[in-house]
A and B are shown apart, each in its own frame.
Chain A
């Protein structure tokens, strides 16, 4: 308690930084009451789109961590960066169990040099091999089974064509799931040109199937850095076609257009950005006053966040650990570093299997939540000798240091569920006195001179991306969110969105959720007129104020 005096003062002083943020509160409250009275019907899509939801530009963001990446600096496409661009589940490659038809053909010529024509006679695309279209179609059909939300969106909106006239240029992973999204956009009236946001993630046969149906796709697996930018350029720069919407994942496409085609960029009606990195870049641009079109941050929508973090990790932590180590969890002592959404998911899953879970946390509010949920909050050093498994999910770096690894007991498992490979100090394990043994794919034994082994998973990279699948359901949530964001931006009346970054309106967020309820055979209760009036809500939502925490 000796420093207590100073501490109390410090608290007060530091709180001053919060002022600006607090000021927005009243604004938020007053915004809440706006537009509760517009008559809408959830089933009627056009009404949903024309709603005037309450949203305000988001001022701040998820902790963007280290990259002080300049918007104007070209990121390199090669190596690590391209893979670690985003922690959004859906924007990373999906390691789903989908068959990879990826050609073993020893066709070494670059697709750039080939001229291919689809059955309709169009050659406005560039994929590995248009002949794989049929395989790709099968993949897409499988994905459609699990993405009923998008399919029902197609049905509900098909006659209205809310995207009629939209010319969307997109840059995302090109997988069967994205294909369902793209074809949904087309079904809603949009013209699409697409390119890949990652040089490795493209499913060639899916790209072929899309090209066959008339979507101009420029992407193949294993592009070079040069190919990557060439594809983006081909996508944007075409005679007689000017895009008016951007769907981006990572910000590369936005960046390219901003730099290369500023005149086209200015005429864009809106940008929809999915990844953390891309959103971060947009905020930077907006802060610098250089964002001249409205942008929609779909990464932080409630539904997407919950699924990307809490629900996805709750399942994948078990999947990942079981797959790699066959560990049995009952009675095992596990320490989870960090009790954010990911940590909450991991803890809940492990507790349910009978593991004894400890939590380390730096944020007192999250720590208190952990306490109330029945987890012991400890410092890592207190339990490091006891635990069988360490899981990091802080988003920070050097959470588990060499010093701590030295003290762990023989056979303990170390893995990372956070967003980067910095959480475990893996570099410190690459010293001559330690022996590394690769026992399985993604599993290394690190052996100390005295024979102690530590089991390191995925070399400290994200366990859930390396060693487990991303469920299609999660991807469906993302894709639906993107589709609705595009519809909202495209149909928004002049002036609703300024040149700023917006969160998806709550109304749309709720619509995404409601599209997915059918999967669970869940029956939503409807408010009676009288009840809606009592609560002061519109019968069709939005049902919660903007600051509601869910």
Chain B
């Protein structure tokens, strides 16, 4: 980890990093071991295949969030410094956090983008007993390629099936492959990627390959890799360096291998969280300067890029795909509209008709939740701090109130403010018995968990993700997912949402790679509206939606091209 002194980074860099690493390592090892012991247990049961898969999927759903939140809690509690990093995950409002680009963020709560978090889909995870680190093994793919490092190449066929399933659900990318046809817009591109390695990402990677790119891939999360998928990718000739349950050290090793600065030299980066960008920036500054661009997906990564750009140290163009219209709407509004119902039903079997529900926050997530609940006949109240959003809530027919005015009546409290300490112990004290409390916001901080972990309250774990907190007088509060994100803990991320993200990333890569010299300076850009529209366009066939075309005459009248972009940049959709 020797850094280049003249960049002025290393001093700031190394210290906090070491600290956080030490901290992380401890956590990681714990998690890793618990993970493996569980998988052993599972093997022991020797249940039939399907059941195994289901169990595995279920475990992923439960175990994973615990991992991330184990960390969160310790961070929040123990150290101001790390909470800083945590907060940046916050969301769009980048605001005041002074996170240094050169402080590595913790591996866990990096992004609240739906697609950049692990997908808790119903896919299986492997349960191999092989305990040796993949780093120590020498494996070869059928084609003789050995430029990869994964758990077990023999799982490739399994992974291929997963990928084929995902392809079914991601017709947009398949369309993109077809539409590009023989064109190969990415011919010559050497893409180094660092994302979750799941079946859905695999479809993206293979799309990039089909469009002419050479890809090297690493995982952006130490737990999220689907080993079988990684194997299938390797078999298809893509250099993947990732396995499930990497250590912190292995994580950075994988990234370094992936860059392969000496033998291969990437010319474009696809990143999720900014770790890869960070690594190349610090480790291979010369290589970094020659890049065609960086495509960054997560909130955190984008934030780090803006900081870098502000400091004048960003030497290549970067594309912020996180804030593209299509992706934003799907990650928040549409996705939450569905997952709030699924999450609540799955965990509590509640019936919504006539129930009084309090939704804290009327941003995109809040709007989604309110619409869904209203449709089922719930009586919905809203709390809001922003007068414009509050007025929107009024016009949409929701009562805007202060929380303390309504607490005694409500049956469900949902937080989605992105803020902290929205529901405090004193609020919880006033709620009626049986009230359900859950969080759809971005972090664990919205509900004051610490306030509930006191000796006078009894916790009863009734189901996975469901706790009853019992007051001395017998009152029960039903707490979901221990205040973590309900939609990540207790519901699935639809492939459609992931498909939107993947298509956006692919378009951003194509745009950056093909942009003529000078179109993009050393700055952070939003995806051009044109490309955003193209992403939406790729997804329309799924709905059998038929887009109307402008006539020449009409296009002239409106003053824009027949093929878009159709709206000016500050259009709000």
Residues of A within 8 A of B (CB): 1, 4-5, 7-12, 14-19, 21-26, 29-30, 32-33, 36, 58-66, 300, 302-303, 305-306, 311, 337, 360-372, 376-380, 382, 395-399, 422, 509-511, 513-514, 516-517, 519-520, 522-528, 530-531, 533-537, 541, 543-545, 547-550
Contact = CB atoms under 8 A, between A and B. Distances in A.
Contact of B534 (A11, A21, A33, A58): A11
Contact of A8 (B96, B180, B566): B180
B329 A16 contact: no
B540 A363 contact: no
Nearest to A542: B386
B546 interface: yes
Point out which of A25, A526, A535 has the most chain B C-beta atoms below 10 A from its C-beta.
A535
A368 B539 contact: yes
Contacts, number: 277
Given A26-B309, A29-B94, A364-B534, A530 B420 contact: yes
Contact of B392 (A12, A306, A537, A548): A306
Nearest to A378: B546
A541 B386 contact: yes
Contacts of A514: 387, 390
B355 to A, nearest CB: 21
Interface residues of B, number: 99
A365 B557 contact: no
A62 B568 contact: yes
B561 interface: yes
A543 B558 contact: no
B466 interface: no
Contacts of B388: 302-303, 509-510, 513, 543-544, 550
Contact of B547 (A9, A36, A377, A533): A377
A500 B94 CA distance: 28
B93 A545 contact: yes
B385 interface: yes
Interface string B505-525: 000001100111001110111
B487 interface: no
A513 B96 contact: no
Nearest to A513: B387
B401 interface: yes
B557 A526 contact: no
Contact of B390 (A311, A399, A513): A513
Contact of A63 (B387, B549, B551, B568): B568
26 contacts: A4-B181, A8-B183, A10-B563, A15-B531, A18-B529, A22-B520, A25-B523, A363-B533, A365-B533, A365-B536, A365-B566, A367-B545, A378-B545, A397-B557, A398-B551, A514-B387, A516-B391, A519-B394, A522-B400, A524-B402, A525-B383, A533-B96, A535-B419, A541-B387, A544-B93, A549-B325
Nearest to B91: A535
B559 A362 contact: no
B530 A11 contact: yes
B182 A5 contact: yes
Point out which of A32, A303, A366, A545 has the most chain B C-beta atoms below 10 A from its C-beta.
A366
B149 to A, nearest CB: 34
Point out which of B96, B97, B334, B384 has the most chain A C-beta atoms below 10 A from its C-beta.
B96
B572 interface: yes
A362 to B, nearest CB: 5
Contact of A524 (B320, B385, B418, B516): B385
B555 to A, nearest CB: 9
Nearest to A510: B387
B325 A523 contact: no
B573 A534 contact: no
B430 to A, nearest CB: 16
Contacts of B523: 23, 25-26
Nearest to B573: A549
B391 A363 contact: no
A14 B96 contact: no
A509 to B, nearest CB: 6
B179 A527 contact: no
A543 B391 contact: no
B386 A543 contact: yes
Contact of A26 (B95, B385, B524): B524
Interface in B398-413: 399-403, 405
B37 interface: no
A397 B553 contact: yes
Contacts of A64: 559
A33 B568 contact: no
A536 B93 contact: yes
Contacts of B96: 33, 36, 533, 536
A367 B536 contact: yes
B185 A380 contact: no
Contacts of B516: 16
A526 B385 contact: yes
B526 A66 contact: no
B47 interface: no
Contacts of B180: 4-5, 8
Point out which of B325, B418, B545, B553 has the most chain A C-beta atoms below 10 A from its C-beta.
B545
A418 to B, nearest CB: 11
B434 interface: no
A261 B567 CA distance: 37
B511 A550 contact: no
A549 B328 contact: yes
B326 interface: yes
B306 A29 contact: yes
A397 B401 CA distance: 44
A1 B390 CA distance: 47
Contact of B525 (A1, A23, A536, A549): A23
Point out which of B183, B388, B516 has the most chain A C-beta atoms below 10 A from its C-beta.
B388
B395 interface: yes
Given A365-B533, A368-B536, A396 B558 contact: yes
B79 interface: no
B391 A25 contact: no
Interface string B409-429: 000000000111110000000
A268 B139 CA distance: 77
Nearest to B530: A15
Contact of B548 (A14, A379, A537): A379
